[in-house]
Structure 1
Amino acid sequence: MAALPPTLEWERELAAQGYTLVGGCDEVGRGALAGPVSVGLVVINAATAAELPGVKDSKLLRGPVRQALVPAIQAWAQAHAVGHASAAEIDAVGLMAALRLAGTRALAAVAAELLPGYVILDGNHDWLSVPVQPELVFAGTPAGADSGASMTVRTRIKADLTCLSVAAASVLAKVERDAMMVELAQEFPQFGWDGNKGYATAAHRAAIAGHGPTGFHRRTWRLT
């Protein structure tokens, strides 16, 4: 039996509570060996937004379908952005801090237009909010890495499967990050990034063992 598509049920519940502008947020690239972590953010008017047929968690869609959905998602959203944190930044500050850095960049990109009052974050760990003790968690991090989101952030497990705004954010992040990896593959064809997108395939690990890591690999990770 096919899974039900994501809906605006939770977003509309939030609108009824007074949160008109709601953001859906999701990351891609967390488990890759190379390339950035990327965070998509889609802000909607939760009181007036219509359903958006065809949008699902990006992992459930073929590449051409994801790409075709991007213009519709961008037109549907009140604001949207994708933020990235590089492999070098992941090595420098750790994955959770890098996710916050990428998310902060996405928030900064939409801030010129508007900011949501509430963000639905996929998963069970809030890596987006302002840390309680930033001086302990982020000592020596790049500028801006410890800022985080100051609005209400709530995690929801499998939100990319159930919340339409989060699914839309996952599509934008996946398409943008994949395009970055395809472009990098032209410079480093031996790693097959146009196919594996930097993830840990056997062929990718073998290529790292044979050629050594690049500046786009996460050198603090077990690469081979």
Structure 2
Amino acid sequence: MLKEHMCEGAVEAGCDEAGRGCLCGPVSCAAVILPDGFRCEGLNDSKQLTAHKREDLRKLIEKEALAWAVVMVDAEEIDRINILNASIAGMQRALDRLSVRPGHILVDGNKFKPYLDPVLNMQTPHHTVVKGDATYMSIAAASILAKTHRDELMTEYSRQYPGYGWEQNMGYPTKAHRSAIATLGATPIHRKSFRLI
């Protein structure tokens, strides 16, 4: 059973990303604030769910959340500032876009940077949580939004750049994807700072 809060009484935003280990496309970063008492059958780390279940949960989260936002950080910026910094920057931009200001931030993983709220003009306390998407509901919800929004985009890209199998591998480094890069070359959305072949 996932936990609802780390800090009782605080408006808490959960943050996560998807696509960090991919060879191409953006890293997708999400922030979600769920209402108190939110209950959702099957809410879990997005990697543990089927694509169909993730889509069902996405609709529910986007409808029921107090606030949510998804931000894409493109391959060019990833190459420029590295994938860790791009992931943190993306999650902070998603927080910037929330229509409700959080009093506390939960982040999946073990790295984050101090977040200065642009509306309140003060630093918002945060905690990083390893395996947070399997621990807290808000992080699990952010995980699902980040993953579903990115998968949708990569499926669109797969039509623009056929032959790489992105509609199945979503840009992850599968054998077929690496083989396609060797044959067809890299696309403009491949991450040049990653080992592509």
Give yes or no for TM over 0.5: yes
Equivalent residue letter for 2:170: K
Task: State the partner residue of 1:145.
Answer: none
Decide whether the 8 Å contact of 2:31 with 2:94 is kept in 1.
yes
Query: 1:165 maps to what in 2?
Result: 138
Offset at residue 105 of structure 1 (A): 2.1
String of CA shifts for 1:19-52, please: whole Å, max 9, x gaps. 2x1001111111000111111111134xx33322
Give the alignment partner of residue 24 of structure 1, picking from 6, 11, 14: 14
Q: Could you tell me whether the CA contact under 8 Å between 2:115 and 2:124 is conserved in 1?
A: no
Letter in 1 for 2:186: P
The offset of 1:77, in angstroms, is 1.2
Question: Sequence identity of aligned pairs in percent?
Answer: 39
Residues 1:187 and 2:160 are matched in the alignment: yes
> Which of 99, 114, 130 matches 1:129?
114
Q: For the Cα contact (< 8 Å) 2:92–2:115, is it kept in 1?
A: no
2:102 to 109, 116, 127: 116
Among residues 31, 46, 53, which one is paired with 1:58 in the alignment? 46
Structure 2 CA distance for aligned equivalents of residues 49 and 78 of structure 1:
12
| 1:176 maps to amino acid | H
Whether the aligned pair in 2 keeps the contact of 1:35 and 1:198 (CA below 8 Å) is yes
Residues 117 and 152, structure 1, Cα contact 8 Å, conserved in 2: yes
CA contact (8 A) 2:18 2:27 kept: yes
8 A contact 2:44–2:140 mirrored in 1: yes
Say whether residues 1:72 and 2:60 are aligned partners: yes
1:47-80: per-residue Cα shift (whole Å, max 9, x none)?
x333222211100100011001112112221100
The number of residues matched between the two structures is 192
Of residues 1, 11, 14 in structure 1, which corresponds to 2:7?
Answer: 14
Residues 83 and 104, structure 1, Cα contact 8 Å, conserved in 2: no
1:130 Cα deviation from its structure 2 partner: 4.5
Q: Is the 8 A contact 2:21 2:172 kept in 1?
A: yes
Q: How far apart in 1 are the matches of 2:142 and 2:173? A: 24
Partner secondary structure for residue 190 of structure 1: coil
Alignment-mate amino acid for residue 175 of structure 2 = A
Any conservation in 2 of the 1:121–1:166 contact (CA below 8 Å)?
Answer: yes
TM-score (norm 1): 0.81
The equivalent of 1:135 in structure 2 is none
SS at match of 1:84: strand
Q: Who is 1:144 aligned against?
A: none
Amino acid at match of 1:219: K
**TM-score of the pair, normalised by structure 2:** 0.92
Unaligned runs of 5+ in 1: 132-148
Once superposed, what is the RMSD of the aligned Cα atoms? Answer: 1.6
User: Could you say which residue in structure 2 is the equivalent of 1:134?
Assistant: none
The aligned residue for residue 119 of structure 2 is: none
The one-letter code of the counterpart of 2:136 is C
